[in-house]
Structure 1
Amino acid sequence: MLYDDSAAAARHRKDPLDGVGPADGHAADPTGLAALLTRALTDPDFTTEGQDRHPDLTRLSDEQLGSLFVTAYAAPMPATPHATAIRHTIENAAAERQPSYTPDACRRLFEALVEKCGTRGWADLTLGLSALEHCAGPLPDVSEQARELVELCLGKETVRQPYALLAIARIAGQVTLRAAVRRLSRDVGSIVADEMAVIAGLPRAEQTLLSGTDRNDKFTSAPLDAWRRSADNPAYVAFARRALEAAADRTDAIAAGEIPYQADKAFTDREIISLGNALRVALLRDEPWLPELFDRLLPGVALAPTAPAKTLPSQALLYEVVRAAQEFPTPELATAIRTVRRTVRHAGVPKQLDKMLKKVDAALAERTEVALRLPRLGFETVTDSGSTLSGSTVGGVLRRPAGDHQAVVTVAETATLTWEKDGRPLRSLPAAVRREHPALVTELRDLVKRVNAHLATLTRALEGGFTVDATHPYRWWRAELVEHPLARTLVRRLIWEVEATPGEWRAVLPETDGPDASDALDDLDALDVADDARVRLWHPLRSDPDSVRAWRDLLTERHIRQPFKQAFREVYRLTPAEEQTHLYSNRFAAHLVHYRRMFALFRARGWKSDLLGPWDHGDDAHAERILAAGEWRVRFFHTWADQAGDDELASTDQVRFHRRVDGTWRETPLTDVPPLLFSEAMRDVDLFVGVTSIAADPDWTDGGPPRTYWERASFAELTESAEARRDALQRILPRLKIADRCTLAGRFLVVRGDLRTYKIHMGSGNILMEPDDSYLCIVPAAGPATRSTNQLFLPFEDDRLSLILSKAFLLAADSKITDPSILTQIERGA
């Protein structure tokens, strides 16, 4: 533990089962705890002073939690902040863990729903349906309460939660259900009327499942599990296709003049929500008929039928389609959106689509089962023994004539556009082409951006496959990845494992020969590997240390830079301390970090988190990421710590894991987390802390506890990421012109200069000077690497490694330093 704040340290040391409830013995008795909390919620004379504001409810049974939740929901608003905190704890526990309900609790909850709907104008109907779904006994008769609920809801100008309302109406009887269908189908368009009729005809249990996708507006969405349930419902799946095709038929009719054109009036607001639901279900199922539909629907909603008009038939539906793509993207939909973006005539829409498409690309990278399905875009596969990839493969080439010139788009590590004349490459875009073929220039520049977006998505998707332990059929892998004109330059620089015979995995690097193979792909062909043999990415966690070293040596010797860190990838194994803490890890707890930088990293790595700040309830939060195709969740807790000038600081806390069980998250002991998933999750957390810790800030000058933390953490033991950096340095140093001045000593790179000897910490990059270990502050300049390091081969991208090498080159020639701020520090103790 590095940051010695007493409150934070207490949180890190606290076992989640210690200190439950009050100190009078109720904590040891779940029934007693439930009774105590019931009094706190219902008895206005009961004092909560001395009681735990956030009692741990894990030892309550599911049935006790259900009864307690109903009590909290039905009770008047608490009079004290302490009672409010208890209520929130109960609500959060019920949201995290699926309670069960006695018949009496179900009845009380329906009565509370009626009361709240009558007095406040709205109540969450899905609570009542969930209670009936998880009733731990005979279902109570709540038909009268259901009828009252439906009448109250239908009396409102806007009816919320229509799916749930139909399920409630079915409980009340057929007369009430028919009334609900008539009201919900009024003035909303034919597509919604079809949807309401379909849902009304389903059994109540299926209506309940669908109610999880209820959306009151097009800007909200439902949990992944709710969409999965909808995608398993044959009647709703049939409606989804019918609705989307009806929408495309309508836009076709508008384009043909059969329906009068009105800007942004092609669909009602409720139809847009229904179509968004239908599209999400179809995208989740990855329906094969969708690409053809996109080619009709997207131009239909984005282009007015009259050429000069800059309006859209339905800007709202266009944006709804993109929001659906942000949740369940496919390569075909992303391509269709980009195609429409180039043709839409409204001035503001392309800019908005560009912003939204960034989220589509990020989401597609996380959807590994479809993200690897790359278009070929007219590229042809070629090899080039003279390429810059160490005699490797150029992925693909596309040539387009432009008068006397020819455009050449080449895919290597990235896509580039060059121009030729008579077979000779030109340095820049010819003036004649710019003047005579502007549309082609724009098209090809857009193509380069599109290909690079595909490559970035593929890279993220391949790396994301680690957490699901993704495998691919051998023949498909060879044809659609290794030999694909866009994918091959990435795929061939990664190490793969092929199950050549059942249970025997053979590691190969398609780019070149491996440590134990003369030619990777030729050897596999000689083995006559079955077409359906499994192929997966190699991970050092599954390999022995000698093999890991061999692959690292090979990549360094051949100057093969991998698309992401694989051979040098950090491995995080469970520690004895984590086995003791059982449910949580403190490995990265009690660090002080630059909060805004860490928050930006959360987003970049696909984690979600609420923003912390000096406001009510803004001092405590967690970042979370869903892994393994929605089966696992990891949470990284952190707390608002301080404001240092314009900088905001946070203190890091525990890491916990949850597994999806019967549709709800269950906290899971660390020993039960799959080792590969645990390693990948902890790798992200190490990145967050290592990059944003104030220990890596060379000119930190603030005092107090932050300064104490900085002094300890700046030169602390190396983490796994810093150990990987050390391993890379060990291979790089002998190749450097300053090799005779550098040695590795423990956690430091020691550099002998002319004036002094320096120790660069391989974690923080901070520097100590011998003989007295005085601190040397060198603030790196913003911008690209120095001339000494920007031509160096590094086996993986690591800004900290580049910084350490840059400092090493500078200090090895310290007699040539002219910066007075650095010279003064060096000469002071020389």
Structure 2
Amino acid sequence: MLSERTLFELRDLRLAGDSKGNAPELLVMIDTLFFIDRQRAFPLTPELCLERLSSLLSYASGKTGKRLRANLASNVIRFLQRCTDPTVHILQNVLLQLLNNDVARSATTSWKESYIRLAIAGCLSPENVGKVQSFDEDFSSSSPIFSDEFGLVCSWSVGTRLEWAGLFLDDDVDDTQVIPALDPLWNMIEKCPGYGGFAKRALQVAAQRLTEIHNGSLPYRADGAFDGAEIAALNRASRYALRRDEEWMNDVMMRLLPDASVAPTSAKTAPSQALAFDLAKAIATFPTPEAITALREANRVVRHAALAKRLRRELGAAERELPFWPERALRIAAHKKLNRAQRTTLLNALEGSFYTSIRFTFDHWRNLSQCYPGVLSLFESLVWRVTIKQKESDSFIPRFHEDDTFRVDCLDASGKCMDPFPDSAKVDLWHPSEADEEERQAWQRYAVERRLKQPFRQIWRECFAAPDSATLSPYPYQTLSVKPFAGLARKQGWVNERDGCYYRLFGPWRIVLELSDRIVPGSTGIVEIKMLKLFENTSSGLRPISFVEIPTRLASEMLRCVDLLVSVATIAEKASVSLPPAERTRRESAAMSLAHERTASAMTQLRREALEKLFEGYDTRIVFDGHYVRLDNFAIHLGSSVVFHKGERVDFNIPDQPRSAQLPWLPYDEALLERIVMILMAIRDQMS
């Protein structure tokens, strides 16, 4: 490791090399060494800090300092953060010179300049802090919300102000894509004294301002309700309140977001598109049922086409994120009667718990069903898993007694009542990937015998084994149509990185799908899947991991999402016409073979099991043969519902109302399953 003195000797070498216009390799090496030095977070004595700040000042003042001028503010703040005492008198002169040298010029927005200058001036005498405050009063007088936040920051300690300013130095960081538990900005906000009071005041003032714009008390100007500094402050305040699930936020958000999204006139504009989008992003990151309701209302009333598109996207993201906050999600069921939107959100949250492996104690789980009547019927239609003291788990379906005791009977797959569970036992939703074949078959028989109707596919859910690798190529030569692939990927929450990769976040995990080509807006044609990768988001960045390192159900759900994308977008029979005939034939054959094998092993196999149990004892002429179900001279493919008669493909038109008395009960909702059943019933009608 280089000593402090050696680094400054290298600085002199760099100055000499740069002034003579030679030794470019030396310049690159020294720049790299200074970057490494900045990354080393060891403390600096005031003397060493003075040397470094003086060096920065000399670089920024001369012609040789143009490279460092852009990073001057970042380096000053970082050196002061590492200084053991940034307020000592020996630093006063150089800090004043840096302030006079426009140290914050590299900041991209004026509100960031204000915080950087305040943090640096805070290391000086009180009169210098006053100068910075007066410097920013003219700016913040037109931004009362930002002025309130700025005044709060002024009351913090020197170290806290330096830390606060340091959070705004990296403009290339997208804070909305950071995992909440690893995000330094929101973690710091929660610890800052007085920030909760500011957040409440700021959001209430913003809601009141929008109310006055809509009732005509204030003039309306498109995108003029708030300036950039206020929008940034409101973004931080809203994320603080949503993350802490503040009760007062529910009413404020219901007023704030819809009013920010639609003009008080009939114009297709909005008082503040930027604020509406930031609030929607905040809800997608820290969702609550009440905030999602506000976002849904804003999506209903918005007239601006581009903003409407973004609100719809964030609404879907919020509903996908809500299962990761189970206590919030269950608040939807606080009422006995749920409207359609509330029921959809609740079902999405329950199904999304497959991704999270969230567990309750048995006592807590039972109380939830008592406190939230809206979940009672849902709980009784789902299979649950109970684990007692980390031992082998059991699965059950509950039957609640709505009396004073509110007892619950737990039935196993044979319908027998199980022994009572202790209150400390852990309960979560049962997932078929964590059960053996015998247990899965038992619950499927239970569902068929009792005509169990589930709110989403659970007992009949597809299962995928976790591959023992962080990277794999599950669909070689699989040809996908770009348009349906991109549309479904966007709807499901996949993010297009524009470099031939799509990724989707599942809590702290990121699954990446690599394609053969980039997909940009308006793209058409085909692409092929190259690789599937899995990463874990950590404080030090993305870490490649294998699928066996994550919970079994989560691995199965990830692969199920990928399989759905591939199944919808696959066009294996239409390979690229630009390929040579031999290569096109080879890829078509490989893709068809793989798709045939994959489909039979998951979706089609599950469909066959459902039909076998459905038609057991119903008609002995119905026979299952591999990937087909046969009746007389007809054969129906279980993966596509294509009908063959005596070996030849035929177009089969299903009558609107088959003559059969009643369509058999279906174990789960699926268009393809229903079509196969209707074709079988229509063939039976023809034969009768």
Instruction: Supply the RMSD in Å over aligned alpha carbons.
Output: 5.6
Q: Is 2:193 aligned against 1:193?
A: no
The answer on 1:675 being equivalent to 2:626 is no
CA contact (8 A) 2:277 2:310 kept: no
TM-score under structure 2 length normalisation = 0.71
Equivalence for 1:624: 503
**Correspondent of 2:245 among 283, 286, 310:** 286
* Distance in 2 of aligned mates of 1:112 and 1:160: 26
Q: 2:284 touches 2:321 (CA, 8 Å); kept in 1?
A: no
1:650 corresponds to which residue?
A: 527
What is the distance in 2 between the residues matched to 1:804 and 1:706?
A: 32
Distance, in Å, in 1 between the alignment partners of 2:110 and 2:561 is 43
TM-aligned CA deviation for residue 536 of structure 1: 0.7
Q: Check conservation: 1:571, 1:720, Cα contact below 8 A.
A: no
> 1:491 aligned to 372, 379, 382, which one?
379
Count the aligned residue pairs.
626
CA contact (8 A) 1:592 1:706 kept: no
1:685 pairs, out of 562, 577, 590, with 562
Correspondences of 1:419-438 after superposition (within 5 Å) = none
Identity rate, percent: 21
1:348 aligns with 2:303: yes
1:122-141, aligned counterparts within 5 Å? Answer: 123=70, 128=75
Residues 574-618 of structure 1, C-alpha deviation per residue, up to 9 Å, x if partnerless? 44xx4xxx431222344211122122222222221135xxxxxxx
Instruction: Give the equivalent residue in structure 2 for 1:373.
Output: 330
Tell me the secondary structure at the aligned position of residue 509 of structure 1.
Answer: strand
Letter in 2 for 1:732: L
Contact 2:262 2:303 in 1 (8 A): no
Partner of 2:120: 169
**Which residue pairs with 1:743 in the alignment?**
624
Higher normalized contact order (CA 8 Å, seq sep 6+, divided by chain length) = 1
2:244 counterpart of 1:363: no
Q: What is the deviation of 1:366?
A: 1.5
Alignment check: 8 A CA contact 2:104 2:117 kept = no
Match for residue 343 of structure 2 among 446, 449, 455: 455
2:632 and 2:439 mapped to 1: Cα distance? Answer: 36
Indicate which of 330, 335, 350 corresponds to 2:288. 330
- Structure 1, unaligned runs of 5 or more: 1-41, 47-66, 75-93, 381-395, 397-410, 412-450, 612-619, 817-830
Matching of residues 192-271 of structure 1 within 5 Å? 192-200=146-154, 201-204=156-159, 207-208=162-163, 211-212=166-167, 221=176, 223=178, 224=180, 225-235=183-193, 236-248=195-207, 263=221, 266-271=225-230
Whether contact under 8 Å (1:146, 1:168) holds in the other structure is no
Q: Which runs of 5+ in 2 are unaligned?
A: 1-20, 401-409
Letter in 1 for 2:597: L
5 Å-filtered alignment, 1:727-738, equals: 727-733=606-612, 735-736=614-615
SS in 2 for 1:147: helix
* 1:167/1:332 CA distance change after superposition, 3 Å: same
- The one-character-per-residue Cα deviations of 1:560-583 (angstroms, maximum 9, x if unpaired) are 2323322222333344xx4xxx43
Change (3 A) 1:303 1:359: closer
Matches of 1:310 and 1:625, distance apart in 2: 33
SS of structure 2 residue aligned to 1:714: helix
Determine the C-alpha separation between the residues in 2 that align with 1:117 and 1:367: 52
Deviation at 1:551, TM superposition (A): 0.7
**Separation in structure 1 between the aligned mates of residue 333 and residue 668 of structure 2, nearest angstrom:** 28
Amino acid at match of 1:373: L
Matched, 1:547 2:439: yes
Q: CA 1:801–1:516 in structure 2 vs 1: closer, same or farther (change >3 Å)?
A: closer
User: Take 2:100 and 2:652, find their aligned partners in 1: how far apart are those partners?
Assistant: 65
More helix by share: 2
Inter-CA distance 319–726: structure 2 relative to 1 (3 Å threshold): closer
> 1:278: how far off?
0.7
Provide the C-alpha distance between the structure 2 equivalents of 1:635 and 1:211, rounded to a whole number of angstroms.
31
1:276-322 Cα offsets, whole Å, 9 max, x none, are 221112111212221243466568768999x9999987676455434
Aligned partners of 2:56, 2:682: CA distance in 1, in Å? Answer: 73
Partner of 1:585: 472
Question: Aligned residue for 2:667?
Answer: 795
Separation in structure 2 between the aligned mates of residue 758 and residue 584 of structure 1, nearest angstrom: 39
SS of the counterpart of 2:233?
Answer: helix
Please give the secondary structure, in 2, of the residue aligned with 1:654. Answer: strand
* Structure-to-structure mapping, 1:460-539, within 5 angstroms: 460-481=348-369, 484-499=372-387, 503=391, 505-510=393-398, 514-516=411-413, 518=415, 527=420, 529-530=422-423, 533-539=425-431
Instruction: Tell me the secondary structure at the aligned position of residue 532 of structure 2.
Output: strand
SS at match of 1:191: helix
1:666 Cα deviation from its structure 2 partner? 1.9
Following TM superposition, by how much is the alpha carbon of 1:626 offset from its aligned partner in structure 2, in angstroms? 1.6
Q: Deviations over 1:641-684 (max 9, x none)?
A: 999xx951111122222223225322224443333332221221
Cα distance change, pair 371–806 in 1 and its aligned pair in 2 (3 A): farther
Cα pair 2:74 2:169 within 8 Å, conserved: no
How far does the alpha carbon of each residue in 1:522-565 deviate from its partner, in whole angstroms, 9 at most, with x for none?
x67xx2752x6532101123223211110112112333232332
Measure how far apart 1:268 and its partner are: 3.3
Instruction: Give yes or no for contact 1:758–1:768 (8 Å, CA) kept in 2.
Output: yes
Which of 660, 664, 670 is residue 541 of structure 2 equivalent to?
664
- SS of the equivalent of 2:463 reads coil
Alpha-carbon separation, structure 1, partners of 2:23 and 2:589: 51
Question: What SS does the aligned partner of 1:695 have?
Answer: coil
Name the CA distance, whole Å, in 2 between partners of 1:602 and 1:69: 45
Residues 39-98 of structure 1, C-alpha deviations (whole Å, 9 max, x = no match): xxx99999xxxxxxxxxxxxxxxxxxxx98964999xxxxxxxxxxxxxxxxxxx9xxx9
- Assess, with a 3 A threshold, how the Cα gap between structure 1 residues 509 and 151 changes in structure 2: closer, same or farther: same
Which amino acid in the other structure matches residue 606 of structure 2? Answer: D
Cα distance in 1, alignment partners of residues 655 and 232 from structure 2: 47
